[in-house]
Structures are given as structure tokens and as C-alpha cells.
Amino acid sequence: MKIAIRWHRFCYRSLLNLCAPLKKFTGRIAKLNQTSSNLELVENLEHILSTIRHEVANSINSLKITLDVLRENFDLFDDAKKKDYLKRGTKLVARQQELVNAMKAYSRFNVKEKEDIQFFHFWKSFLAAAATKLKDKNIKFVQEREPEPFLIKANNMALNKVMMNLLDNAMQAVEAVKDPQIELRFELKNDFVSIMLKDNGCGIKKNDISKAFIPLFTTKPGKMGMGLPIARKLLVKMEGRIEIESPLEDGTEVRVWLRIADGHEKEVGYHT
Ligand SMILES: Nc1ncnc2c1ncn2[C@@H]1O[C@H](COP(=O)(O)OP(=O)(O)O)[C@@H](O)[C@H]1O
Ligand SMILES: [Mg+2]
């Protein structure tokens, strides 16, 4: 009896824990919006659970069919056919493993320590990494000139992870575009720096944009839909925020906002 009550308490607490971060990643047109309604929270939770249910049920059913066919025909199948069925089974288990890994990744990436980091250093090293990646794929890179020195509140590893996730999305979005282009700029506004990453890729459908930050939401075959949720989690932990906009047929623009460290606030406009 005691165990049953504890289990229920555990489930209830787990549900509350699950709902707490949901508050942060729900938003109108996928812009960070702390005023999301209860309805949105419930809908997002429903979306996550139905995605997990769908993924798990699909691979369990396929695995069951594969094993049933193998068992029923074990004496009829030659070795090559048996190996083929075992290979199919392993592939289905691997897909389940990917799902578990994707969920683990959400917890694994974290902000260990928030510190005052030199924006200039981050910007220089990220631009260099991005330029190499884009050159390999023949994507035109429009980039910002070097900033003056100022400090931001962030964690270097976490910020790199955020920006790499966004860059990967932009690169995947321009894969089928004739003249692919990715633009990276920054802007200083009061006590924030805003980093803008813009692509001329496929864009995000109106119906999809509000789901973009929901874990496991993806429109890409073989992907896991954890890039934006992880980016958003890390930014929230760095007191930052993320906005995403995708005007129809005009690519996607993502903006990351980070706090400038005390004493380094600036009143400067766009840097172009
Ligand atoms: N730059 C972009 N251009 C077009 N669609 C995007 C872009 N960034 C994100 N998305 C949409 O948001 C979804 C979720 O992105 P993400 O969380 O990184 O997961 P994944 O990349 O694994 O699909 C993508 O599947 C895609 O539909
Ligand atoms: Mg991604």
C-alpha cells in the first residue's frame, strides 16, 4: 500500500517536473513566450507523449512481426535469410535506442557554470568553425565584422552547442536551395546582445512553427527533434532567450539573446 502511494506521488511529481520546462518552450509563432496558456501546456505534453507512444509502438510492432516470421519459418529459411531477419530486428532496436539517446541528450547538455565571457573570443572561434562547415557544403556565408571587446553572461561550451544546433538546422534547410546562403550577425541593444542566424532555406510551415521547440518534433526523416529544445533549455539557463521566425518562402531567421555583463551595457544599433 505504502509503495503504491509512493509510486503515485512519484508519478505525480514526475508529471509536474515534465510540465515545468514545458512552460518555457511553448510559445506563439515559436517565439519565447512565458505567458503560454494551460491549454498549450496540455497540448504540448500530449504531443510529446503521442510521439513517444507512436515511435515505441511502431518499432515494437515491427519487431514482433519480424520475430514471428523468423520463428514460424526457422526451418524453412536458409542462413542468409535468417541473418537478414536478425539484421532487421537489430535495426528496429537501434531506432528505439536512438529515441532513448535523444531523451537522454536533453538532460545531458547543461550549463555547468555561468560566467562572464568575452564575446569577441566566442564570435571569432564560432565564425571560423561555421566558415569551415559552410565551405565544405558550398554555402555562401555572409558574416559580421569583428566586434569590439565586451563581456556577456554565458557559458562557452553551452553557447557553442546552441549555435551549432542552429547552424546545423540552417544548413539542413538550405540543402535543396539553388544559391544557399547563411547570414550571421550580431546587434547590441541595451543590456543584451542578439545573435541573428538567417538562412534562405525551405522555411517552416505555419502549422509547424509553434511545435518547433517541442522535444521530439521533427519534419526531417531520421532526425530526432532535440536541437531547438536543447538550445532553448541552455539559453534559459544562461538567462537568455531564443526567437524563431519564418516568413513564408523566405527562409528562417533565428535570434538568440544573451545578457551583457554588468558595466558593459551598450546602446549601439545593428552591426552590418
Ligand atoms: N532553419 C530552419 N529552417 C527550416 N526548418 C527549421 C529550421 N530550424 C528548425 N526547423 C524546424 O524545426 C524542427 C525542429 O528542429 P530541431 O529541434 O533542431 O530538430 P531536428 O533538426 O532534429 O528536426 C525541424 O525538424 C524543422 O522542421
Ligand atoms: Mg536540428
- What pLDDT is stored for residue 150 in this prediction? 93
Average pLDDT (92-119) is: 92
Same domain? For 10 and 99 the reply is yes
Per the domain annotation, does 145 fall within a domain? yes
Each residue of 2-21: pLDDT tens digit?
434 343 443 334 444 443 44
Is the CB–ligand 1 distance for residue 167 below 6 Å? no
Same domain? For 43 and 157 the reply is no
The pairing of strands 151-154 and 140-143 is: unpaired
Each residue of 22-56: pLDDT tens digit?
433 333 344 444 446 788 888 888 988 998 998 89
- What pLDDT is stored for residue 26 in this prediction? 36
Each residue of 57-99: pLDDT tens digit?
999 999 999 999 999 999 999 999 999 999 999 999 998 999 9
Distance CA 217, CA 66 (A): 27
225 C-alpha to ligand 2 centroid (Å): 6
Q: What is the CATH number of the domain that holds 215?
A: 3.30.565.10
Is the CB–ligand 1 distance for residue 166 below 6 Å? no
Same domain? For 124 and 29 the reply is no
Per the domain annotation, does 270 fall within a domain? no
Distance CA 38, CA 255 (A): 26
Per the domain annotation, does 143 fall within a domain? yes
Listed residues 74, 108, 142: the one ending a domain: 108
Distance CA 35, CA 257 (A): 18
Q: What is the DSSP string of 95-149?
A: HHHHHHHHHHHHHH------EEEEHHHHHHHHHHHHHHHHHHTT-EEEEPPPPPP
Per the domain annotation, does 264 fall within a domain? no
Distance CA 173, CA 168 (A): 8
For the record, the C-alpha cell of 99 comes out as 529515441
Same domain? For 121 and 103 the reply is no
Same domain? For 145 and 47 the reply is no
Listed residues 58, 74, 108: the one ending a domain: 108
Is the CB–ligand 1 distance for residue 218 below 6 Å? yes
Same domain? For 85 and 104 the reply is yes
Per the domain annotation, does 267 fall within a domain? no
Is the CB–ligand 1 distance for residue 220 below 6 Å? yes
- What pLDDT is stored for residue 250 in this prediction? 84
Q: Which residues pair with 188 in a beta bridge?
A: 193
Distance CA 229, CA 86 (A): 35
Which residue out of 103, 169, 197, 235 has the highest number of ligand 1 atoms within 8 Å of its CB and is therefore the one to mutate?
A: 169
Number of folded domains that form the chain: 2
Same domain? For 121 and 104 the reply is no
Each residue of 237-259: pLDDT tens digit?
999 999 999 987 789 999 999 99
Listed residues 108, 138, 157: the one ending a domain: 108
Is the CB–ligand 1 distance for residue 201 below 6 Å? yes
Same domain? For 190 and 65 the reply is no
80 C-alpha to ligand 1 centroid (Å): 39
Per the domain annotation, does 268 fall within a domain? no
Same domain? For 220 and 131 the reply is yes
In degrees rounded to 5, what are phi and psi of residue 178?
-70, -50
Is the CB–ligand 1 distance for residue 223 below 6 Å? yes
Q: Tell whether the model's pLDDT for residue 267 goes beyond 50.
A: no
Per the domain annotation, does 236 fall within a domain? yes
Each residue of 143-199: pLDDT tens digit?
977 788 899 999 999 999 999 999 999 999 999 999 999 999 999 998 999 999 999
Q: What is the DSSP string of 29-95?
A: GGB--TT--HHHHHHHHHHHHHHHHHHHHHHHHHHHHHHHHHHHTTTTS-HHHHHHHHHHHHHHHHH
Same domain? For 91 and 129 the reply is no
Same domain? For 181 and 99 the reply is no
Distance CA 55, CA 99 (A): 8
Range of the domain at 150: 115-259
Phi/psi class of residue 271: alpha, beta or left (left: φ > 0; alpha: ψ in -120 to 50)? beta
Per the domain annotation, does 176 fall within a domain? yes
Average pLDDT (212-239) is: 94
Closest-lying ligand 1 atom to the alpha carbon of residue 202: 4
- What pLDDT is stored for residue 270 in this prediction? 37
Burial of 186 (C-beta count, 10 Å sphere; 0-12/13-18/19+): middle
Same domain? For 152 and 247 the reply is yes
